């Protein structure tokens, strides 16, 4: 039960089927894909690495590095290469003994071992065979991903080979894809959905099309040129694709067979527009977390088709994340951890072989989401119990953003919350109290952008004389959110 075994089984089941196109234009079949991974694993072993860090776009280096790291018995750690250099350096300092696979435009801090992505993909065969005794330990760490908590710096979540193997084999069947199927992969490598897509596509026998950096125009162009049949998009990406199709009516929508979405709440207007724009495509809403090795619940094609035909029950179910997958258990509990009655709201907990053991209590992982399950078993999510902001499919910790803003010399106090947004799911909003006089919102935005990158930069900043406080001196985020929502259409809000 290891990640390399998924590739070995695929190569044995359909060795001649197209698998992956390399940057030099070569189209690898699954046997060739396996050979490239084996050679890359040999290169990583020779360098004496303790883990493999990926700092690049969604290119062919991503799946090769993922499998090669596992083959070499090393944890694979994809890191957001778009972060400011000092933030990347902070994350790398938490990853001792890393061999960094870097993109062409990525600069690696001095003194750190690195290979460029082309060098990894074109590595010469090592001549070392990978046999049963050499396979990774099922309980060993396969992938480490940085995820945001409610406060403080990103935490590192570890997924074992057994976690990922269980997810893949519970989700797809070996060789189940038709020979012409191809997945257009636009999700960045540091997102669990991208890791899951690489593994499931391989096991199913589906060709992988890494997009590089996402733009809606490039996505539409690649979908047509590569004859993509499957794709996954976070809601923000899908909204941009729909907007591009609207602005260029002469451009036909890709003839996709399946389009999955997830990573954040999907606004109802967006999915209804998508159903009209892709009338012959099967839609799937996939809900999961990094700690659950990706998907644990699915709203499937039948539900989406019924909604497209106007069925009122199905339309309401578009606001759900569907039903829980086999092999996974979900329960709703109250604040004391006791199960709530059927149909009642509670905090979502999950357990199963694909769920990371770290952070679990008695086998149950508390997701941080609230929700309810209806009489037919559909899971409807409510708000976040931990105030995490989900923007464009990425989890953002308000505490991390607040810490950076508070380091600005003009700021005395700050509270950061998420506001609903039709494109991004949520946008970042900050209520700021200046030290003296006033604080310039644009200067604060530039400060955050320089330290944390554009994704975590507040879209809305409101300068206040004081923050609301409870009797115990705490800042209630709900009141801050209400205040910002009530004022966001006025000139006092700076965008």
Which is more confidently placed, 133 or 17? 17
Closest CA to 369 of 331, 339, 417, 423: 331
Please list, residue by residue across 197-232, b when 16 or more beta carbons sit within 10 angstroms of its beta carbon and e when fewer do: bbbbbbbbbbbbbbbbebebeebbebbeebebbbbb
Residue 3: pLDDT above 50? Answer: yes
The answer to whether 281 and 258 are in contact (CB under 8 A) is: yes
If you average pLDDT over each of 147-161, 366-380, 464-478, which comes out highest?
366-380
Tens of pLDDT along 427-448?
999 999 998 778 899 999 999 9
- What token pair was written down for 218? 């490039």
Q: What residues does CATH 3.30.300.30 cover in the chain? A: 397-494
Residue 489: pLDDT above 70? Answer: no
- Torsion angle in degrees (nearest 10) through CA of 321, 239, 54, 203: 50
Tens of pLDDT along 127-141?
555 554 455 688 899
- What integer is the mean pLDDT of 327-337? 93
Q: Give the right CATH number for 3-317 from 3.10.20.600, 2.60.40.10, 1.20.1250.20, 3.40.50.12780.
A: 3.40.50.12780
Q: 397-494 architecture in CATH?
A: 2-Layer Sandwich (3.30)
Q: What residues does CATH 3.40.50.12780 cover in the chain? A: 3-317
Tens of pLDDT along 247-294?
998 999 999 999 999 987 787 888 999 999 999 999 999 999 999 999
pLDDT at 105: 84
């Amino acid at each position: 039960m290891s990640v390399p075994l998924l590739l070995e089984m695929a190569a044995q089941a359909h060795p001649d089927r197209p698998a992956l196109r390399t940057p030099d234009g070569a189209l690898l079949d699954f046997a060739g894909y396996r050979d490239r991974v084996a050679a890359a694993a040999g290169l990583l072993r020779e360098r004496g690495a303790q883990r493999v860090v990926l700092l690049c776009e969604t290119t062919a280096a991503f799946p090769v590095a993922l499998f090669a790291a596992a083959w070499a018995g090393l944890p694979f750690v994809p890191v957001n290469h778009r972060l400011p250099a000092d933030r990347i350096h902070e994350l790398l300092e938490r990853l001792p003994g890393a061999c960094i696979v870097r993109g062409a435009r990525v600069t690696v801090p001095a003194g750190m071992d690195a290979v460029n992505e082309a060098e990894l993909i074109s590595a010469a065969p090592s001549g070392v065979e990978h046999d049963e005794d050499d396979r990774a330990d099922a309980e060993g760490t396969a992938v480490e991903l940085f995820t945001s908590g409610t406060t403080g710096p990103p935490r590192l979540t570890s997924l074992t080979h057994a976690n990922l193997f269980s997810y893949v084999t519970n989700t797809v069947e070996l060789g189940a894809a038709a020979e012409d199927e191809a997945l257009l992969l636009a999700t960045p490598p540091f997102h669990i959905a991208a890791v899951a897509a690489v593994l499931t596509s391989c096991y199913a026998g589906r060709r992988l099309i890494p997009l590089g950096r996402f733009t809606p125009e490039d996505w539409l162009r690649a979908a047509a040129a590569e004859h993509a049949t499957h794709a996954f998009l976070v809601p923000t990406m899908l909204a941009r694709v729909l907007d591009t199709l609207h602005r260029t009516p002469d451009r036909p929508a890709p003839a996709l067979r399946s389009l999955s979405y997830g990573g954040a709440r999907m606004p109802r207007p967006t999915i209804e527009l998508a159903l009209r724009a892709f009338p012959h495509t099967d839609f799937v809403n996939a809900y999961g977390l990094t700690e659950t090795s990706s998907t644990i619940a699915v709203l499937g094609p039948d539900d989406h088709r019924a909604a497209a035909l106007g069925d009122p029950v199905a339309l309401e179910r578009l606001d759900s994340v569907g039903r829980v997958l086999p092999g996974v258990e979900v329960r709703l509990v109250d604040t004391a951890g006791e199960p709530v009655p059927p149909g009642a709201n509670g905090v979502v907990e999950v357990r199963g072989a694909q769920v990371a053991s770290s952070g679990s209590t008695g086998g149950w992982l508390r997701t941080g989401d609230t929700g309810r399950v209806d009489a037919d078993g559909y899971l409807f999510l409510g708000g976040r119990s931990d105030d995490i902001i989900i923007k464009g499919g990425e989890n953002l910790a308000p505490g991390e953003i607040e810490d950076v803003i508070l380091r600005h010399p003009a700021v005395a106090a700050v509270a950061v919350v998420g506001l609903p947004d039709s494109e991004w799911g949520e946008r970042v909003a900050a209520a700021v109290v200046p030290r003296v006089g006033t604080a310039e919102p644009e200067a604060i935005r530039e400060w955050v952008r320089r330290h944390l990158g554009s994704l975590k930069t507040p879209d809305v900043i409101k300068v206040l004389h004081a923050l609301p406080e409870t009797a115990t001196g705490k800042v209630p985020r709900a009141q801050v959110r209400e205040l910002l929502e009530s004022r966001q259409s006025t000139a006092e809000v700076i965008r």
